[in-house]
Structure 1
Amino acid sequence: MPDLIVIPARHGSTRLPGKPLLPIAGRTLLQRVVAVGRTAAAQAGDCTVMVATDDARIADHARDLGVEVAMTAEALDSGSARAFAAAEGRVGPDGLVINLQGDAPFIPPVVVADLIRTLRNGQADVATPVFRLDWARLDRLRAHKHTAPFSGTTCIRAADGHALWFSKTIIPAIRNEETLRAAGPVSPVWQHLGLYGYRMAALAWFAAAAPGAYEGLEGLEQLRFLESGRTIATVEVAAPSHALSGIDTLADLELAEQTIRRLGDPFPA
């Protein structure tokens, strides 16, 4: 069986209802993410793309885009659980499932393909991309969190690249920041890009396990794996030119359109 890129796409977002159907510079959010998934699948090889949703309007739009749809239960509590529901019966026990968040339209396709390659060539249960913030990006993230405190996730990594923790707070706290700023252009903060690759066995465990305590506090499903002692490989990628935090608010939509006007549209034609 081929590996699978699943795009979870809910209509009932608490902060931005119906966001998969909202336009960004003339193309819907879902259309943009589907295009990323298709390009990544072609780059990785032996991989297919599917949209997982609980809403008929989103399903109809996905079919209009020519992508397969899995209808999943509205009660599912995370994108990973929705990805598992879509993948069950379609991916073998040793296969891979990529959860390409339906609100992350500017993820470079090569990043998605690199997650697949990392899992194919390694032993981690989960893989996810991160990038190092320079000081200017860190300043922008801090400012952004004044208006959208739960938009944007940071990561602490071990020396071998495995994740130690993720948080919606900017971590680590930085002592003697002015000295570090004078020493070089790169901060010690890693920002997380919102997609994951899983071994099917790890994803099946996740779907059956109870949420972790810190997962509930942070609203970060990947903490369920870390709280249980499972391994998440972080894949270092280049700092993106386009805004890549999830589209969670109307302000995020406007920021995305401003970035496209300034830097061009990365939509993979």
Structure 2
Amino acid sequence: MSASGKDLIVIPARYGSTRLPGKPLRQLAGRTLLERVIANARLAAQSVEHCDVIVATDDKRIAEHAETIGVAAVITPIEIDSGSARAHAAACARESQPQLVINLQGDAPFITHHTIAALVTALRDGDAQVATPVFQLDWDRLDRLRSHKQSNPFSGTTCVRDRSGHALWFSKQILPALRGEDALRREPWAPVWQHLGLYAYTLAALDWFVANPAGVYEILEGLEQLRFLENGWKIATIPVPAPEYALSGIDTEGDLALAEQAIERLGDPFPT
């Protein structure tokens, strides 16, 4: 490790969601979304060591809630328009700046501490400046993704990887196209990887990201990680198990209802 400060898991948590106002404070099976995300972040920080957790928000109510849970919070400017930029602002506000920054959205209660920790380890030990998790689809999951995209074409992101596990591309389309699919289906796994929306960065990479404009394909796809790929940065894609809970993020009342149903069916993943 360098002489810089501890690595930092930042949980960006905006109050003013247009589709679900006050989202981080909304209850899911008796606990707030933010409480659930904090619990996973804490476990990840403990497992990798030399790592802190902080909430970055635009609202005093969220900051106060974080502090009652026992996690520090920083108020960042309300005009910040992305989680990555909010994570950067929180990192730069530290007295001793971190070497690595993990951007863990405050509406993602089902991303496990194992996945968060895997990103930290990948950047500490690897040659990339950005890391993000992916999971391989079996054929049932691929069929469900295809069906879902018929009505929600911009929900679900796939990733094409090189032999070393670095990202070649991300897309809202399902990539790659599968020629000869009948033969491919003899194997249990489809050659398609889906992306989980969680990122770890070196601080230098995050500095660069916020200082540069969105790229052409980033705007077309609506995927901020393409800003890095369009400009030659390496993104390590870390294979993780397919999520047991289908929703990684909560954006609407409907998502909350589905999450409640999943917990009733599968059990509550909140760490005890």
TM-score over 0.5 for the pair: yes
Residue 107 of structure 1 contacts residue 244 of structure 1 at CA under 8 Å; is this kept in 2? no
Once the two structures are superposed, the pairs formed by residues 51-130 of structure 1 within 5 Å of their partners are: 51-90=55-94, 95-130=99-134
CA 94–12 in structure 1, closer or farther in 2 if over 3 Å, else same: closer
Where in structure 2 are the equivalents of 1:1-269 lying within 5 Å?
1-90=5-94, 95-181=99-185, 183-269=186-272
CA distance in 2, matches of 1:170, 1:186: 15
2:131 aligned partner, one-letter code: A
RMSD: 1.7
Distance apart, 1:75 and its partner CA: 1.6
Residue pair 1:132, 1:190 contacting (<8 A) in 2 also:
yes
Q: 1:9 to 1:149 in 2, by over 3 A?
A: farther
Deviates more, 1:49-58 or 1:38-47: 49-58
Q: CA 1:262–1:21 in 2, change beyond 3 Å: closer, same or farther?
A: same
Distance 1:174 1:226, change over 3 A: same
Mapped partners of 2:266, 2:79: distance in 1? 39
Cα distance between partner residues in 1 of 2:76 and 2:150: 34
The 3-state SS of whatever aligns with 1:267 is: coil
CA contact (8 A) 2:101 2:203 kept: yes
Q: Is the 8 A contact 2:6 2:98 kept in 1?
A: no
CA distance in 1, matches of 2:235, 2:41: 21
- SS state of the match for residue 251, structure 2? coil
**In structure 2, what is the Cα distance between the partners aligned to 1:243 and 1:2?**
32
CA distance in 2, matches of 1:29, 1:72: 20
Partner Cα distance (1:93, 1:160) in 2? 30
Number of aligned residues: 268
Aligned-partner Cα distance in 2 for 1:207–1:198? 12
Shift of 1:91: 7.5
Contact 2:13 2:57 (C-alpha < 8 Å) held by counterparts = yes
CA offset at residue 242 of structure 1? 1.7
Distance 1:32 1:149, change over 3 A: farther
What TM-score comes out, normalization by structure 2 length?
0.92
